Structure 1
Amino acid sequence: MSEKPLKIRRSGKIRNRLLIYIVPIVVIMIAAIVLIATTLSKKRMTELATSNLNSSISNQANNIESWLNENLEFFKTAKQGIEGLNPNEEQLQKILDSYYDFNSNAPEGLHIATSEGEFIKPTKSELEEADPTSSTWYKQGLSRANMQYGTAYKNAEGKNVVSAAAIINYGDDSIKVISADVTLEKISIIVNSGVKMEKASSFLVDTNDNTILAHRDTSLVSTTLSTDNSNKLLSSIAKAINDGDYTTQDIGAYVVAFQEIKGTDWVLVSYIAEDVIMASVQELGNYLIITGVVSVIVIILLIIFVVSRVIAPLAGITKSIHAMSEGDFTINVQQESNDEIGVMSSKIAEFVESMRHMLSSISEESEKLKQESETSDSVSKDMFNASQSQAEAMQQLNDTVDQLAVAVGDIANNATTLATVVADTRDNSQKADEAMKETVKISQKGREDMEKLSHAMDGIQTANSKLVDAINEVGTASEEITNIVSMIAEIAEETNLLSLNASIEAARAGEAGKGFAVVATQIGKLAQTSSESATNISNLIEEVHRLIDEAVGQANASAESIEKNSELIHVAVDTFDQIYENIQASNACIEDMIRDVEKVDDVATNVAAISEEQAASADEILATSQNMVEQAKTISRNSEDVANNSHELANTSDTLTSHVQQFKI
């Protein structure tokens, strides 16, 4: 009862995890597909609607052009016939009567107006023109040599017509205009019924005055299309026409197409609401959404079925693993497929078989281990008793050797101390000898240096005397320079007076002396500059005199100091000679003492060596004895450990056997 809930819970968990991962992905993908399909459908339907609207309006425009051209050709033929016959008034009347009601689109036939105001029409025609020269068709025809359509207008009968008019010439010099009125009823039929697209509308506009010529709403016919119209669609179309923008475009909630009618100033406008275009797209979107929802449900059901089928073998594997966790290896795992789950079943079966063999081997080995542990236990007890006796005997031997080693060690230590003291004394004597020899060398060098210093002081005294003489000579030279500078100052003073006199004389000379006055001024400035320079030089020479006097005083003081130092140095040289002789005598005494210490050192070294050899032998004996004692103790401990391990091994064997017996194989 405990395994079945485990199998259902584990299977359901894996399935739910797979569904949690797979279902959202499927839903997102189908939603993305529906969204992309709807967007593409909307774009494509808009393109198709625009294309159909353009095709429809182009077809309507072609029909209107064909209808207009058909009538225009009739009118042109009639005009050319009249001009070719060159009829008189009676013949002209007959010709006009023959065209009356001949063309259903122009039932009133052709009529002519002259510049004198004469109006010629078919006899049966009911048209009346009080002043034909002021009529719309007459004014339009005056500017045309061939029959062409003009703007639409309402005739005397109140009908919306468009006239094809032109100047006619049939032999006389008078100006005559021939015209035929075409009603717009046929054009309205073409405009209103020629729309191919369902729920699309069209109307015709004359761009000369933005008059609506044809419209499904008859109340708008003959009205003016204005940007101020309350209808936003009509006002936006009026703006596009005024701007000359005849491209297909979106205006408000409508798609609007424009088409110019060749040979006229008319523009055909066709439009359809975007809601109409999007209705099919919305319907398609609804179908796609329904299809997507159904697809999601079907796919989820298929996924649940597939997942359940795929993970079904996991229930048996789970049951087998649960049995193994309880120690039951009598199970038989079957491989039901060749996929990863089948491979898992195969590997579990191999693991169960391997565990069976391993548990059987462990059980057999544990029995053998138990027997061997019992044998080891008895042997270890005998070994422990023998090692205890050996350890006690070795301990007694170790105590005896230890006392001998202590006595020999004391002798060796004393001999070693003596050798050390003698060696240290010899080393110190050698160091003293080396230091004394170094002192002798240093004193000798100091004596030589003092002699050199004495000679150097003599040279400095001589050089100082020469320096004093040179400074005195510089003082003499500076006095001569002072005299020369005084002379220059006097010359500058006289030159300045001369330049002043010259300036006065130049001023007296007037204009003739201006140039000389400039020269005199420059000479005065030069004399002034020379005087100032001489004063500066004189000041500098006085400063030099002062410095020379100070240098002479310092040089004399240095000479006296050098002389005193020279006497002291000579005394120091004599003192160094006495020190040098005393040091040499001390050095000879130290050398004799070193030779005596070396003899004592040899005797002490020999005694220490013999004592150390005896101490080393005693130490080796003691170390060997201690090692044997330690080995005996170690053997005793190991024997005890072996005994303990044998008991533990026996217990472990029993425990292992009990554990193996828990498994079923």
Structure 2
Amino acid sequence: MAKTEKSPKGTKTKKIKDKLLLFIVPAVVVTIVILVAISSFLSKSRLEEMARNELESSITNQADNIYAWLQQNLENFSTIKASLEGMDLDETYYEEVLTTFVGSNSNAPNGVYIATQSGKVYTGRGTDLSITNPTDQQWYKEGLSRINMAYGEPYKNDEGEYVISASGILNDGSDEIKVVAADVTLGKISIIVNSGVKMKNANSFLVDRNDMMVLAHRDSSLVSTTLTGSLGRPVMDGTYNAIISSDYSTTNLGQYTVAFKEIKGTDWLLVSYIENSVILANVTQLITILLIIGVVATILIVILVSAIIGRVIKPLSYITENIHAMSSGDFTIEVKNTSNDEIGVMGQQVGKFVGLMRDMLSSINDESEKLKEESDNSDQVSRVMFDASQSQESAMVNLNQTVDQLAIAVNEIAENATTLAMVVSDTKANSDTASERMAETVEISKSGRADMEKLSVAMGEIQAANQELVASVEKVGQASEEITNIVGMISEIAEETNLLSLNASIEAARAGEAGKGFAVVASEIGGLAKHSAESAQSISDLINQVRDQIEKVVSQADASAKSIEANGELIDAAVTTFDKIFENIESTSDVIKEMIADINKVDEVSTNVAAISEEQAASADEILETSKNMVEQAQAITQSSQDVADNSHQLANTSQTLTGYVQQFKIVKEDTDYDE
């Protein structure tokens, strides 16, 4: 509720400050609430968009990893198939050759196996495969339609495990149709799917679009589950609908944000999802912070606005108090002009009015006092003729007292003039000290300007050194390119050595017992070739990291060069500024010298004023003696007149009335100070 105060007439009036706050504060609060709401909405939208982008990036990277893993295994199986086709082996050697591939691939520990049209199955020793009626198996039927190795549909093998087989026709030059195959379990794929999620708190699962079967899931109990669209799980039911409609765009399913990604070369669909509450957790925290900031900002703005309004309208309160005083007849007030706006103009005009009224009332009061004094004197002379000499004597006594006070005032003026001369002398000494300090400042500014020029030269040298550093780093980058080429050659040599080792193992197997020693040597050579290839790949990865770091160093060096160049320009500007400062200091030094000269002149004038004041004090003493003589002479003066008595009586009445009117106004300050 706005505070009120009583006006001179007794009515209550509201303060302007309270009225302004009543309008401004709600507007500020509404504005801050709107800004917080807009910021919250934009933050929520931005965080949701960022979460979608991160989820899509994560699932894309995960899908690429799955595809790369599948291709890596498929290439391994295709290589073994090509080796078998190139050996031209008799079926009696199949088991021996297939044994060499058992355990060579950790993702397919049983290696590859072969099934013939007649129902025979060939596997390597040490495998746990149990295959019956191979021609009825899904992988065999799929392999009959493919020349190259390719993945088929998931199925449950004789051991009860869900596997995915890569199979194809084996062209070994015989008349009988043969299919070569290798198995990868869904457990391996589940590990890749669950460990490949890069977005925090996100989950993924893999679905076969042909039969709607879940191939991989973090919850192992859901693996091999068939999607029907009515499982009661929003993500799985939504995935079923997305496959049916072939719409794989990122969407919201229930309380989850879900992204889809097709795996290249397969009929598989990777699904990644995250709870919306996880995404919006930061939004809730941000909204809370924004609300706190809004409340604090509102309080600070209200305090600031209140202080500003109080400062702006403070001169108006002075004017209001002065108008109240004028309405009470007090014209002794002094209206202060504390601002240069409309309020200041108002105060200035009120001050002018008060001055005019005070001068006018003072003149009327002086005239009425004079008139009253003259009428009283005339009345007294006309009524009491014999008292004329006594009245004259009294008037001369008053004159004597006035002259006495004048003498005292003149003596005070002489003392003040002497004090002024002493102050001016002290000021002259301080000005001399200021002149010396200004001379020292001029010398220091010269030294600062020279230091800035040296700093400019040093920045140029730093820029040249930085350019040399960039050239050196670029040479290192070129050297890393050459090393990369050499490592590539080593990798190619290792691959060729690995193939030679494989052929040697096959030849050793053909040689039987005589070739066992040679088979061991070929196996060691194959291991060394594999180790060399892995080392070459590690070196290549390290060189790529070095190249990336070199590119970052070059980029940072370029940024440093630009920063150094910008700093050089700033230093040049600082040198120019120092020149201007130096010129201004020299100009200030000249002005101070002129001020010292003027102070010397003031010192001479104040000394002369002190001497003249002492002379006036002596003259006032002489006037005092003269007034005493006039008092003695006035005692002998007497006059009387009847006509003057009648006129003076009427004049006295008129003067009394005029004096009563003027005394209603206060134009002379009392002894105590007036508080505005």
Normalising TM by the smaller chain, what interval? 0.5 to 0.7
Which string of whole-angstrom CA distances, capped at 9 and with x for unpartnered residues, describes residues 333-355 of structure 1? Answer: 11123333333222210121233
Cα distance, 1:313 vs. partner? Answer: 2.8
Could you tell me which residue of structure 1 aligns to residue 77 of structure 2?
75
Distance 1:244 1:653 in 2: 115
Which string of whole-angstrom CA distances, capped at 9 and with x for unpartnered residues, describes residues 594-645 of structure 1? Answer: xxxxxxxxxxxxxxxxxxxxxxxxxxxxxxxxxxxxxxxxxxxxxxxxxxxx
Deviates most, 291-300 or 68-77 = 291-300
Could you tell me which residue of structure 1 aligns to residue 53 of structure 2?
51
Cα distance, 1:114 vs. partner? Answer: 1.4
Matched, 1:147 2:149: yes
CA contact (8 A) 2:5 2:14 kept: no
Distance 1:656 1:296 in 2: 61
The unaligned stretches of length 5 or more in structure 1 are 368-651
Distance 2:101 2:265 in 1: 24
Structure 2 residue corresponding to 1:109, chosen from 108, 111, 122: 111
1:309-388 → structure 2 map (5 Å cutoff): 309-357=311-359
Matched, 1:275 2:254: no
| CA distance 1:264–1:4, shift in 2 (3 Å) | closer
Could you tell me which residue of structure 1 aligns to residue 477 of structure 2?
none
- Name the aligned partner's letter for residue 77 of structure 1: T
| CA distance 1:68–1:653, shift in 2 (3 Å) | farther
Matched, 1:162 2:169: no
DSSP 3-state at the match of 1:312: helix
Deviates most, 167-176 or 313-322 = 313-322
Distance 1:343 1:659 in 2: 31
Matched, 1:39 2:41: yes
CA contact (8 A) 1:152 1:162 kept: yes
DSSP 3-state at the match of 1:285: helix
Structure 1 residue corresponding to 2:258, chosen from 249, 256, 259: 256
Cα distance, 1:196 vs. partner? Answer: 1.4
Distance 1:654 1:95 in 2: 147
Matched, 1:23 2:10: no
- Name the aligned partner's letter for residue 239 of structure 1: N
CA contact (8 A) 2:193 2:206 kept: yes
Which string of whole-angstrom CA distances, capped at 9 and with x for unpartnered residues, describes residues 242-300 of structure 1? Answer: 21111111222211100010111101000111111111111111111111111111221
Cα distance, 1:155 vs. partner? Answer: 1.5
1:188-207 → structure 2 map (5 Å cutoff): 188-207=190-209
Matched, 1:663 2:653: no
Cα distance, 1:130 vs. partner? Answer: 1.6
DSSP 3-state at the match of 1:27: helix
Cα distance, 1:119 vs. partner? Answer: 1.3
Distance 1:365 1:331 in 2: 22
- Name the aligned partner's letter for residue 345 of structure 2: V
DSSP 3-state at the match of 1:99: coil
Cα distance, 1:84 vs. partner? Answer: 1.2
TM-score relative to the length of structure 2 = 0.53
Distance 2:655 2:197 in 1: 105
CA contact (8 A) 1:167 1:175 kept: yes
Cα distance, 1:92 vs. partner? Answer: 2.0
| Higher helix residue share | 1
Cα distance, 1:12 vs. partner? Answer: 7.4
| CA distance 1:22–1:656, shift in 2 (3 Å) | farther
DSSP 3-state at the match of 2:274: strand
1:463-502 → structure 2 map (5 Å cutoff): none
Structure 1 residue corresponding to 2:173, chosen from 171, 174, 180: 171
Could you tell me which residue of structure 2 aligns to residue 480 of structure 1?
none
Distance 1:654 1:75 in 2: 135
Based on CA coordinates, which of the two structures has the bigger radius of gyration?
1
Could you tell me which residue of structure 1 aligns to residue 642 of structure 2?
none
Cα distance, 1:224 vs. partner? Answer: 0.5
- Name the aligned partner's letter for residue 220 of structure 1: L
CA contact (8 A) 2:206 2:215 kept: yes
DSSP 3-state at the match of 1:161: strand
CA contact (8 A) 2:361 2:662 kept: yes
Distance 1:302 1:274 in 2: 41
- Name the aligned partner's letter for residue 241 of structure 2: K
RMSD (CA atoms): 2.9
- Name the aligned partner's letter for residue 223 of structure 2: V
Structure 2 residue corresponding to 1:237, chosen from 230, 236, 239: 239
Matched, 1:92 2:94: yes
| CA distance 1:655–1:149, shift in 2 (3 Å) | farther
- Name the aligned partner's letter for residue 162 of structure 1: I
Which string of whole-angstrom CA distances, capped at 9 and with x for unpartnered residues, describes residues 169-206 of structure 1? Answer: 10112111111001222221121122111211100001
Cα distance, 1:112 vs. partner? Answer: 1.1
Could you tell me which residue of structure 1 aligns to residue 299 of structure 2?
297
- Name the aligned partner's letter for residue 301 of structure 1: I
Structure 1 residue corresponding to 2:220, chosen from 215, 218, 223: 218
- Name the aligned partner's letter for residue 187 of structure 1: I
DSSP 3-state at the match of 1:259: strand
Structure 2 residue corresponding to 1:284, chosen from 277, 286, 289: 286
Distance 2:655 2:139 in 1: 133
1:491-530 → structure 2 map (5 Å cutoff): none
CA contact (8 A) 1:99 1:109 kept: yes
Which string of whole-angstrom CA distances, capped at 9 and with x for unpartnered residues, describes residues 85-134 of structure 1? Answer: 12111222222111111111000110111121111111222211221111
| CA distance 1:95–1:25, shift in 2 (3 Å) | same
- Name the aligned partner's letter for residue 170 of structure 1: D
| CA distance 1:45–1:11, shift in 2 (3 Å) | farther
Could you tell me which residue of structure 1 aligns to residue 591 of structure 2?
none
DSSP 3-state at the match of 2:350: helix
Distance 2:60 2:230 in 1: 28
| CA distance 1:119–1:26, shift in 2 (3 Å) | same
Q: Percent identity?
A: 53
Distance 1:29 1:132 in 2: 78
TM-score relative to the length of structure 1 = 0.54
| CA distance 1:265–1:653, shift in 2 (3 Å) | farther
